[in-house]
Amino acid sequence: MRKLRNLSLLSKRCFSTSPQSFDTFCHPERSEGSFIQFLDPSARLRMTIRKVLLSISFLVLSLGMNVQAQHRHVHSDSTKRLDEVTVTAIAKRKIETDMKMAVSVDEFLASSDNISFIKRGAYAWEPLLNNMSTERSTLTIDGMHVFGACTDKMDPITSYVESNNLATIDITSGQEGSLHGATVAGSIDLRRKSTPFGMEKKWGGAYQTGFEFNNRQYFNLGNVSYSDDRFVADGSISFRKAGNYYDGKDREIDHSQYNKFNTSLGLAYKTSPLSSVRIDAIYDKAKDVGFPALPMDLWLSRAIITSASYKQLFEDGLLRVWDSKIYFNAVEHYMDDTTRPENLVHMDMPGWSTTYGLVSKVHLKKDDYSSEIQLNAYDNLSIAEMTMYPQDRSKKTMFAYSWPWVTTRFAGLSMNNAWDISERSRLNFGGSLGWNYNHSKYVEFNWIFYPGTPQEKNRVLPSLHTSYQLQINQFDFSVGTGYGYRAPSVSEGYGYYIYNSFDRYDYIGNPDLKNEISYEANASAGFKNKRMGIEAKANYFHIRHYIVGRILSLGSPMNYQSVGVKGYTSLDHAKLFNLALNANYDILQHLHWKGALTYARATDDKSGNLPFIRPLSYQTSLYFMHGQFGVRTAVNGDLAQRNYSPEYGEDQTPAYAVWNISADYTFSFKNYKMVLQAGAENLFNEHYSTYADWGNIPRMGRNIFTSLKFSF
């Protein structure tokens, strides 16, 4: 049992002692007073990309030459190599759901019982971890921090990757997710595909295409990989295009279309039997994306995400792996309301986000003890502008910075430890210490509501967590606790007249907000035998200085649709409780059942309800599989949302239930495989919206989908 636990832990952390089979990659300033100089950000982005790619190329070449000189006489062990290849493969999870083979990243995340979404349309859903907004969680791509450039949260970082360039997604709850930075809810790490080196030359890849009838969406996803004993290449490309969708009453939902292109490339070179270097890049572009729940749409968003990494393995001793990475990413986002003739006043709202960073981690292992120590550092600049026009766009009426050139610098040291006390029990413990710095270039925007507030702010963000796991025969138990801080986000601290169409208030940031402080408890219990399994998980958060928006007595609305002005402030505390129950049962050899229940409750310091909290939700499914044929059917739904919050713009949403069905057939020939799938979502065309649908925008009605996947 101890060996099995160790292998699972090591494979999850991409650890390997094998010399050749390790996973090589675990993963504007504008002139003062010159407005015209920054009006072509795309040209500036292209120049920046060229400089970054050139710098990364020089870095990789220099690393390769240095490492080769240091490791010329290391010998490999072929027996270890084969063992570790098997372990690494176990850790991978396909980016698809039980019901649907061709899913977006959002649809895949939605299959997790501790992830829910705020939906403002059919594209770029905002992930909520443990029923908390993205400000309270850490979202990374291979440990790299990427920040959206939209004040209205139209571009969570999950929208800048595609399912065919990801290997898996690591979701960690609470303070156990502090490895990548300060958090309250936990962390979501999107891990890219990384083909291991092999003894022989090998090509692999897949192509997937499909069509969805409701919104006339078609997609093409392709990826290819090459590996030999010294070189690895991974590439992917994808394209999605969808029109407006139709709800359960067959009414067209205007402004729900989207158009997305994504491509990625990764190159790795083995500099010695125990070391390698790798460069990676992702380019993502979305155009003409509608958001029916918002008064604006997206004209264009682009992102370039790059990194260069070096990895060194050690066969003996306490230190087993050292993995370091430098990265750069730039995001630009242009909101547009020119397709909304009903708007009396038009607004241009572009935003830019630029981040440089470093991630360096080591893995330690000795007997029954293992540890992961990670250094995180990044520098981010967030800029957002707002220009208001009358119907005659030649007459500009107002200009302001909704993010007034806010610089955020963070540096933190984190540690996760695991100690196998016995064959049946394990103790996990760790913590982090972070420094967070903010600087607002145009602080006069903050002085309007908070006179004399400092231009700079330094914060110290500690974190601690521990958990104990016990296995007794077929039963598993765990109990844990955590304590941690988080700093206010850019919008919470420095936002200026950010319109929230949900409660129809303009929001003002407060640079003097206190850090949120989270006290957490969690527990789980499970049983499993050959035919069935059941697991219950629960967590509780008591969060001091919980940040919310409250009505300000001074100031008047800037948006003509706004009913007032709110400022971010801190409640004395808030309480959140999450519960999930999962079960599965093998009815027959080829017939399997799965079910899940989730529930959440959240209140403020006066026992008032907090917004966007999931009511009791359920899912039950059957899967029949025989030979190359499989069929699945599932029903999922929510009970009525009774604990809603009118103060934050919510109203009661009724109960609903949706039935889905799909079938697939697999064809195999030598080393080639083809899977054909067809199915229907919302089979009975239910008309509904949920607690998480911004402005009660109805969900998609009946949607028949088809997909064909070819892999080799």
The predicted structure's pLDDT at residue 391: 66
Of the candidates 147, 50, 124, 135, the residue with the CA atom closest to the CA atom of residue 352: 147
Number of continuous H segments (helices) and E segments (strands) in the chain: 6, 32
CA distances 654 to 47, 414, 639, Å, are: 51, 44, 7
The predicted structure's pLDDT at residue 74: 37
Average pLDDT, the chain: 87
The predicted structure's pLDDT at residue 556: 81
The predicted structure's pLDDT at residue 567: 94
Give the span between the Cα atoms of 439 and 445, in whole angstroms. Answer: 13
**Confidence band (pLDDT; 50, 70, 90) for 111?**
confident
Average pLDDT over every residue of 521-542:
97
Range of weakest confidence among 40-44, 68-72, 91-95: 68-72
224 touches 187 (CB < 8 A): no
Per-residue model confidence as pLDDT tens digits over 183-193:
999 999 999 99
Of the candidates 660, 666, 664, the residue with the CA atom closest to the CA atom of residue 678: 664
62 vs 161, higher pLDDT:
161
- Is the model's pLDDT at 548 over the cut of 50? yes
Q: Provide the percentage of residues in the chain whose pLDDT is more than 90.
A: 75
Average pLDDT over every residue of 292-314:
96
- Is the model's pLDDT at 260 over the cut of 80? yes
Average pLDDT over every residue of 104-115:
90
656 touches 675 (CB < 8 A): no
Give the span between the Cα atoms of 673 and 13, in whole angstroms. Answer: 30
6 touches 420 (CB < 8 A): yes
Residue 709 exposure: Cα atoms within 13 Å on the Cβ side: 18
277 touches 25 (CB < 8 A): no
50 vs 98, higher pLDDT:
98
**Confidence band (pLDDT; 50, 70, 90) for 415?**
very high
Average pLDDT over every residue of 442-463:
92
The predicted structure's pLDDT at residue 27: 33
Core vs surface per residue 514-533: b (16+ CB within 10 A) or e: ebbbbbbebebebeeeeeeb
Helix H or strand E encompassing 466: strand 456-472
88 vs 706, higher pLDDT:
706
Residue 89 exposure: Cα atoms within 13 Å on the Cβ side: 7
* CB under 8 A, 24+ apart: contacts of 679-686: 679/99, 679/100, 679/632, 679/704, 679/705, 680/704, 680/705, 681/99, 681/100, 681/705, 682/248, 682/658, 683/658, 683/659, 684/658, 684/659, 685/248, 685/250, 686/248, 686/656, 686/657, 686/658
End-to-end CA distance of the chain: 35
Burial of 250 (0-12, 13-18, 19+ CB in 10 A): exposed
Q: Which domains does the chain carry?
A: 2-711 (2.40.170.20)
**Confidence band (pLDDT; 50, 70, 90) for 467?**
very high
- Is the model's pLDDT at 163 over the cut of 60? yes
The predicted structure's pLDDT at residue 76: 38
**Confidence band (pLDDT; 50, 70, 90) for 261?**
very high
Average pLDDT over every residue of 531-539:
97
Residue 508 exposure: Cα atoms within 13 Å on the Cβ side: 22
Average pLDDT over every residue of 250-273:
97
Average pLDDT over every residue of 620-627:
95
- Is the model's pLDDT at 52 over the cut of 70? no
**Confidence band (pLDDT; 50, 70, 90) for 452?**
confident
Average pLDDT over every residue of 537-558:
92
Average pLDDT over every residue of 151-180:
94
568: number of Cβ within 10 Å? 23
Give the span between the Cα atoms of 602 and 614, in whole angstroms. Answer: 9
Per-residue model confidence as pLDDT tens digits over 54-73:
444 433 334 333 333 333 33
In terms of DSSP bridges, do strands 505-508 and 564-570 run parallel, antiparallel, or are they unpaired?
A: parallel
User: For the CA atoms of the chain, what is the radius of gyration?
Assistant: 25
- Is the model's pLDDT at 384 over the cut of 80? yes
215 touches 244 (CB < 8 A): yes
- Is the model's pLDDT at 79 over the cut of 80? no
- Is the model's pLDDT at 86 over the cut of 90? no
- Is the model's pLDDT at 13 over the cut of 60? no
Q: Can you give the length of the chain in residues?
A: 712
Range of weakest confidence among 31-40, 329-338, 496-505, 511-520: 31-40
519 vs 95, higher pLDDT:
519
The predicted structure's pLDDT at residue 490: 97
Amino acid of residue 477: F
654 touches 688 (CB < 8 A): yes
Return the beta strands (E) in 37-147 as ranges: 115-118, 126-129, 137-141, 144-145
- Is the model's pLDDT at 93 over the cut of 70? no
**Confidence band (pLDDT; 50, 70, 90) for 33?**
very low
The predicted structure's pLDDT at residue 393: 64
Return the beta strands (E) in 53-179 as ranges: 115-118, 126-129, 137-141, 144-145, 166-173
Q: What is the DSSP string of 19-50?
A: SS-S-SS---PPPTT-SGGGS-HHHHHHHHHH
Tokens matching residue 73? 């006489």
Tokens matching residue 46? 């292209």
